[in-house]
Structures are given as C-alpha cells and as structure tokens.
Chain A
Amino acid sequence: MAVFENLSLQERMLKTYEAEEFLYREAALLDDRKLDEWLELLTDDIHYWMPIRRTTTAREVEKEFTEPGGMAFFDDDKKMLTMRVQRLAIGRAWAEDPPSRTRRNVSNVRILEIDGDETLIAANFQLYRTRLNSEEDCWIGRREDLLRRVEGELKLARRHLFLEQTVILSQNMSNLF
C-alpha cells in the first residue's frame, strides 16, 4: 500500500487530477440524466450506502451514525441501483416526472489511500435539486469513494455518503448522490 503523502508532489498531482476528472465526469452524467452511462461506471460489486444520522450529545457523538448492515437511507448493490435507474425510465415514477433539475458540486477531493488498483478518496459534495416551479432541496455531505482500475478504466467500487442532515428536510430522495 502506497502512503500517498510520501509520493512526490508531481505524482500526487497526477493521481489527484485523475481521480477528480473521474468524479467530475461521473457527477455530470447524473446531472445530465445519463443514468445508464452512469451505471456503467460502477463495478459489479459496488456498495452504495448512506447511514442514518442522529443528533446526539457531544459525549455520545460516536453513535451519531447507524452501523453498516443496519438501518440506512441507501444500502444498495449494483442490482438495486440498476432497479432505481430502471424505475425512473419505466414511467409512473412521479417523484421524477416531470424530472427534477439537479447540479452536483464535488470538492475538497483528497486521496486517503492507494492500494494496488484501488484508490480511496474523501470528498465533499453538494447536491442542489429543484423541481416544478418552487421546490428546492439541498444536501451537503462527506463522501468516501473507492475507485478501482478495471481493465484500464476507472470505476466506482464503493460510495459511502454521510449527510449533514439528521431529519431529512426533503419529501424524498428520489435522486442518486
């Protein structure tokens, strides 16, 4: 496992740039509603997970997120994510018909770890959604993405999403993050 900090500045820049390029392209596919193309960027064993967060006292703050395998907003494999995409295409997915308009900002991209073909990345995200004439939602959070090189192509092998909201202040999360 390469210790990222020990690499030269040039190597760090190249690896970070490559990761950012992937993440921006991936975000653009979601913004542009090219969901089938987005699915192609996922590995077959992807884990897409957003735990539930709770307001706790400072003393118990280590318990603010639910544990893996437990209750979660998203806990999806590739099959489940494919179903979500199919659902939107099939008609009668009313929360997205008329379609929402979304814009994703991904920032503060930091490589945490490089292990062979895999790169673990931390990033901040902001997802703005508006629909119809006056609906607005905004989700901000932290992400841990695992990128894996498969036959020369970068793919997303894990996305763990940690929202800042506890009570979700939106009537649904019919979009992908």
Chain B
Amino acid sequence: MAESLIAAGNQPWFDVANGILDRRIYSDHKIYQQELERIFARAWNFMCHESQLPEPGSFFMNYIGEDQVVAVRDRDGAVQVLLNSCPHRGNTVCRAEQGKTNSFLCSYHGWNFDLNGRLVGMPGEETFYRDAIDKTRWGLASAAQVQSYKGFIFATMDPAAPPLEDYLGWVGRLGIDMLASQGDMVVLDGVVKNRLKCNWKLAVDNLYDWYHVKVSHGSALRIGMLTEESMAPDDQMVILGEYGHGIGGPGLSEAQFAEFQARMASGEGEAQWYDIQARRRLDPRIQEILGPVGTRSLGHPNIFPNLWIALTRQVCLRIPRGPFETELWWFTFLPKNANDEERRTTVFMANHLFGPAGLLEQDDGENWSHSTRGAQGAVTRRLPLNFAMGKGLDRVEEDPSGQHRIETVVNEHGQRWTYQSWQEWMQAESWEDLMANHSPAPKGEV
C-alpha cells in the first residue's frame, strides 16, 4: 500500500474549513495510484443492471478503477464479477464488451474458466503439466463481494467493505430509488461510451454544479429544446450522506410542492420548470419510497465515487483512465411496461442531451480537459482552487422523518462534500479505519 500522501503533507489537499482545493489532485501520478488503491479497489463500484444479464452466460465488461472485470450470470442465476486476467500469463479472457458465453477461454494458451471463474481445463494438463497443477487454486480472481440494490449490481474488491445497503446509506439508496421507483426498470441496449481528456473527479464534481449550466450550456438553452428555468433554477436542495454520497440540484420547498400539487389537481397545465420532473412525485407509492424530503428533491445523486444518476432516466459512470483521461459510460433505463410514446420520449431525451453528440454534454469536455491541463503547470498547480460558494451560509435541517437536507440557492456544498469525503478515503489505511474515522453527514451550519 502506498504511503498516505495526504497525511504526509503539511496541510490537507482539501481545506474543508474554507473550501479551498489543491489542484494537484487532478494531475499527480502518485495521488492517482493511491486513488486506485484506496478508493476504487475499496469502494462498491457499479457494474451493471440485472436486466443486462438476462440469462446464464450473459456478461458485461466493466472496470473497477483500472482493473478490468466481467460481470456474468452463472448457471445458478447468481452474478459473478471476475477479474479479466488469466492467472497463467495475465492475458484477458474476455475481449467483448458484452454478450453471452459458455465459458471464458484464454486466447494465449487455452486455459478455460467456467462462469464462476473456476479453472476447468487447459491444453496439456496430463502431457505437459503431468497432472501436477491444482486447478482449484488457479481460477480467475473474483470480486470480494457482489450485491445488488433494486437491480443495480455493485461489486467491491475489499472483503472488509460493509454490506452494500450500509455503504449506500439512506442517501445513496434514495438516489437509486429516484430511478428505481419509476417502474420495473430495464436498461436499453446501447451503453454510450466516450473518452475525455480530464481527471475523473472534475467530471464527478460537475454533476452537483448548477452554477455552470447557464454559461457552459448557454447555447443549448437558447434553441428552444430546453429553457433556463428548467435547467438552471435558483431553488436548490442538497442532501449529503456518509462516505461521500450526495444529491444536489433543484429542489422544491414544501410550499412550492403544495402549490404544485394543487395546480396539478386543478387540471391546469404545466407552468413551472419542475412540472415535468415533479409530476412523477405525485404518485403516493413513489412518495412512500422517497420520503417527504426525497420527494421534493429533483437533484442529481452521486453514488461515491463515480456513479451519477441523471434525471433523464440514465446513469453515467466516470471511469478513470490515468490522471488525465476519463471514460463516460451512459446507461439508459425504461420501465419494462412503458408504452411506445414513453419509450420514444425517453430515448429522444437520452440521445439528444447527453453523450458525445448530446446538445448539453458536448460543451462540458473541453472545460474539464483545460482544468486538468492547467493542473500540470509547475506554477499553475501551486495555485489553489475556490470551492467556497455558500460555505458557512446554510444550515442542514432535519425532517421529523429523519431525512436531512439543505434548502438554499445555487451552491457548492455537494462539491465540498465530495472532496472532503475523497480526502478521508485517501487518508484511511483500511475500511476499518475509514469506518471509524470518516465524517458523519454534516449537521447544523455548513
């Protein structure tokens, strides 16, 4: 394990009290290696949705940090997450992004592994190995734990990680519930993937960023597809959860929600920016699942470290590819019983807002790549970055239900919480250390 770079420094990389960030965390190779060890190899990482593995042998290739893994449904119907590396010479045993197979055959020497990763045979077992190899010891490595929450399959490489539901906590579960509660969800065929020249954390912190919308996406807001009111409302709600999970973005006050309910009941048409999104929240079954505060949040959840759950019925993974590159993978969901119109609308929004040709997303990449590039200059990288918007000016309020939130204007609470939590993950020596020493979700003044 690499020594803790952060603990060794004179000051933390993120000054929590003042919201000031040392931008070397976007460019330092040692920090990047430590992230792979202490964040990705430790966290619960999203693999895929149950619907992407419909039958035994169905597989989907993904990554845990830079470790390539294959999520596969075994013959008993359970999901295995196998490290895609043959223990003989290290070659990959699966080259396709997705598909169906009976086994994983290494293309180098022919070692063959079953759907549980067990080594079941190789050429020359009798003649060359002379039956002196213990096949039970040389299967594919597998994730330490694989669990799913409402069909979302996660894996962790760390046997000491807490159970998935504890890891997610109520905030992470709420984030997934916002999508999962919309029906019996399935992932549509076609995961959109593209590569950006930015550090992965810049892509993550942006999902909480409702400050950039009017500027970065100014062109998309002016052509009639979206409006400023719908995409960049001032009224915001932030919900912060343990281990770095959070939900940030538009939120309705109790009064706004009551007014919305009355307006919808009266049969008046849509009038406010939030009407289209909020309409689903009128369903008492969904209110029951999301709770009184969650029902009023129309923000963006992030499951730490890198799974954004978007309002477009999509999730986006931000997969690190070295300190200076990140892949974005968009998965699009639809209720199984959706009619043609609902399907058409969901696909249209997904295809035209996000992804490399999406009208919103195409303007993001260059901003993040230039932020990343700037962090490499010997002088530039010494200069801190300001994440202080709203710092010390808001309060966490607790609902009688126990759900707590900040109700405010556009802010950077979500970003600060992400970097504060990131720092704690990076300082922790182990899951035991992280569980003992991580910050609880903020209360009171933030």
Contacts and interface: CB of A to CB of B under 8 A. Distances in A.
A167 B194 CA distance: 5
Contact of B192 (A71, A91, A174): A71
Contacts of B351: 71-75
A67 B99 contact: no
A170 B223 contact: no
Contacts of B347: 69-71, 75
B196 interface: yes
Contacts of B194: 167-172
A73 B355 contact: yes
Q: Is the interface of A mostly helix, strand, loop or mixed?
A: loop
Contacts of B197: 171
Q: What band does the interface of chain B fall in when counting residues whose beta carbon is under 8 Å from A? A: 35 or more
B346 to A, nearest CB: 10
A171 B365 contact: yes
Contact of A93 (B97, B193, B219): B219
A90 B219 contact: yes
B189 A66 contact: yes
Interface string B184-207: 000011111111111000000000
A170 B350 contact: no
A83 B223 contact: yes
Interface residues of A, number: 40
Interface in A45-79: 50-52, 54-57, 60, 63, 66-67, 69-76
A57 to B, nearest CB: 5
Given A171-B196, A171-B365, A92 B96 contact: no
A169 B188 CA distance: 22
Contacts of B223: 83, 86-87, 90
A56 B192 contact: no
Nearest to A63: B99
A14 interface: no
A173 B357 contact: yes
A74 B358 CA distance: 8
A69 B347 CA distance: 8
A171 B195 contact: yes
Contacts of A71: 188-192, 332, 347, 350-351
B209 to A, nearest CB: 15
B283 interface: no
A80 B365 contact: no
Interface in A20-57: 50-52, 54-57
28 contacts: A55-B95, A57-B96, A57-B99, A66-B189, A67-B189, A69-B347, A70-B188, A70-B189, A73-B192, A73-B357, A83-B359, A84-B359, A91-B218, A91-B222, A92-B218, A92-B222, A92-B363, A93-B363, A167-B193, A168-B195, A170-B194, A170-B195, A171-B194, A171-B196, A171-B197, A172-B356, A172-B362, A172-B363
Contacts of B220: 87
